[in-house]
Amino acid sequence: MASPAQIAASLANAAHSTGPVTPSGKETVSRNALTHGLTATRLIIPGENPADLEALSAAIVHRYNPQNFDECRHADLIVASEWRLARAWRIHDSFLCEVQQQQQTTGAGEATIFSNPSQQRGFSLMLRYIRSIERSHRDAVKNLVAIQKQREADQEPRPEAAPAVAPKPALAAAPAPAAPPTLTRAERRAIERAQRKAAIRAARGSSVDPSALFRNQQAA
């Protein structure tokens, strides 16, 4: 555990290590990571034209037409990734040109780029940066398109639900016809006698012989 005297000495040393104070010193320190530009935190580094970045941003906005904060944020990510990707490929081409010039000077073949350890490490590092930027660009485009599709789906009018229709009441079944009553033998004979008497009375008022009608009924 540090003693109070050691703590006081550390605080005194930290007070003298606050970094550059003047604007020019701060600007110099801010460019420490710009040795090759691939890890720069600033979107524009020395040698790049801000007008080109504005033109790229306008093209991205025209292409995707962001409508809200989330869409604008992803559009900015697309602009930044495309800008950095173009820078990475410029550095890639410049690296290859320098290697070719060195090969022409030394008379080495083109395949030495893969056998020289220092050049091989630089080339592999550059390709890793390029793949990382390309992955960020694909993710930004994919997320922006998904957000816009969801927004369009939310804005589409939903069809109104059809009003509920009450079910029709079931029709009552028609009653079955009543079965004819069962007559006894005596009742059937009585009905037959009444029918014969009625037929005789009707025959008396006509030209038909009642006795012949009675015989015909008995024969039937």
The predicted-structure confidence for 155-166, as pLDDT tens digits, reads as follows: 888 777 777 777
Residue 206 pLDDT > 90, yes or no?
no
- Of the ranges 16-25, 130-139, 186-195, which is most confident? 130-139
- What is the per-residue pLDDT for 209? 54
- What is the per-residue pLDDT for 43? 81
Residue 26 pLDDT > 70, yes or no?
no
Residues 6+ apart with CB under 8 A from 88: 38, 126, 129, 130, 133
Hey, how many other C-beta atoms are within 10 angstroms of the C-beta on 78? 24
Quote the CA–CA distance of 65 and 59 in Å, as a whole number. 10
- What is the per-residue pLDDT for 146? 95
The predicted-structure confidence for 114-151, as pLDDT tens digits, reads as follows: 566 777 787 788 888 899 999 999 999 999 999 999 99
Quote the CA–CA distance of 32 and 25 in Å, as a whole number. 11
Query: pTM here?
Result: 0.52
- What is the per-residue pLDDT for 36? 43
Residues 6+ apart with CB under 8 A from 83: 43, 53, 56
Quote the CA–CA distance of 38 and 75 in Å, as a whole number. 21
List the single range of 58-72, 83-97, 104-118, 188-202 with lowest mean pLDDT.
Answer: 104-118
